[in-house]
Amino acid sequence: MPKLVWFNGTISPLETATVPAADHAHLYGDGLFEGIRFYNRKIYQFDQHLDRLYHGMAFMQFEKCMPKAELRETVLEVCRQADLDDGYIRLNVTRGTGLGLDPKNIKRIPNVMIMVNTLALYTPEQYEVGLNVITCSMRVMPPDSLDARLKCIGRYAANIMAKMQANRAGAGEGLLLNQQGYVAECTGDNLFLIQKGVIRTPHPSSGILQGITRDTVIELARKEGYAVTEEQLTAFDLYSADEAFLTGTAAEVIPMVSLDGHPIGCGTPGEHTRKIMALFREHTKHGVPF
Ligand SMILES: Cc1ncc(COP(=O)(O)O)c(C=O)c1O
């Protein structure tokens, strides 16, 4: 059963899997998720993803979810059953089941879904030539509304609208600014730029998801001897950058070659970006085997 869904203990083929109509994320977006890749039967950055999920659950005050070690073992077992070498795990935990916003009126036993699938966000050609990006009209949600570090299902409607805006403009990705006009992130990716050999990326307080790929790339680049700074960036910084690239579990590392029609550097993927892509590719060989 290569593509499958485990839902609260029951496994089904992807095509026939269903979730309860009154699931609180289905009704209100009241759930958290992780997208996790596995390469050559090893789950990449698995514990980092589980940690982010459980921190999110603590913040959202989800109750009675299975212990992290049990979920970890369940994901490994589901991957064994899927029997794919490379793929993408979509792990969802929602608050529970019931109609009405008020959690006190619903059955607060989290619904857990583990989907094992494959996912290609961009074409092989886009990894070669890089992405053209446009600035979208919608801004990321302010942190006093819903902190962007929370990987909450409900917030993604805005990202989908931004992606549609980018599609309409014929762009590969859409950039979202924060309420102050600083660069935040793309619809499912964090952003980096390179200027005079220094790698710069928005600070976590800029309204970004603190991406696991982002943190990995920062670590790998520093080990390689690059200076990496986390700061507030504006479109000006991107227009005057030598290179830029995006990161994400689904996206991996992909060059960004223009913003709003302005070429970044010479408008082609640069040597530092290619170096980071190679470092990342090598690092994906490490993971938790199943
Ligand atoms: C909005 C957003 N930003 C950034 C990322 C990258 O995060 P990660 O590297 O943890 O996948 C994602 C991934 O889904 C995302 O949805």
pLDDT digit string (tens) for 126-175? 999 999 999 999 999 998 899 888 999 999 999 999 999 999 999 999 99
Q: Please choose, from the candidates 194, 198, 219, the residue with its C-alpha nearest in 3D space to the C-alpha of residue 280.
A: 219
How far lies 120's CA from each of 124, 147, 220, 248, in Å?
9, 27, 23, 12
Say what the pLDDT of residue 177 is: 98
Domain boundaries, the chain: 4-117, 124-283
Q: What's CA 89's distance to the chain center, in Å? A: 12
Atom of ligand 1 nearest to the CA of 148: 1
Q: What spacing in Å lies between the alpha carbon of 53 and ligand 1's midpoint?
A: 13
Say what the pLDDT of residue 17 is: 97
Long-range contacts, 46-52 (Cβ 8 Å, 24+)? 46/72, 46/75, 46/287, 46/288, 47/72, 47/288, 48/212, 48/215, 49/91, 49/212, 49/249, 52/151, 52/212
Residue, of 46 and 144, whose pLDDT is higher: 46
Say what the pLDDT of residue 128 is: 97
Q: Quick check: 38 pLDDT over 80?
A: yes
Cβ proximity of 119 and 79 under 8 Å: no
Atom of ligand 1 nearest to the CA of 208: 3
Q: Quick check: 1 pLDDT over 90?
A: no
Say what the pLDDT of residue 64 is: 83
Tokens of 23: 């699931």
Say what the pLDDT of residue 94 is: 98
**Spatial distance between the Cα atoms of 40 and 59, rounded to a whole number of angstroms:** 33
Q: Is 213 in the pocket of ligand 1 (CB under 6 A)?
A: yes
CATH classification for the domain delimited by 4-117, as one of 3.10.300.10, 1.20.1250.20, 3.30.470.10, 3.40.630.10: 3.30.470.10
Q: What is 124-283's CATH number?
A: 3.20.10.10
**pLDDT single digits (tens) 257-275:** 999 999 999 999 999 999 9
What Rg, from alpha-carbon coordinates, does the chain have? 19
Q: What spacing in Å lies between the alpha carbon of 168 and ligand 1's midpoint?
A: 22
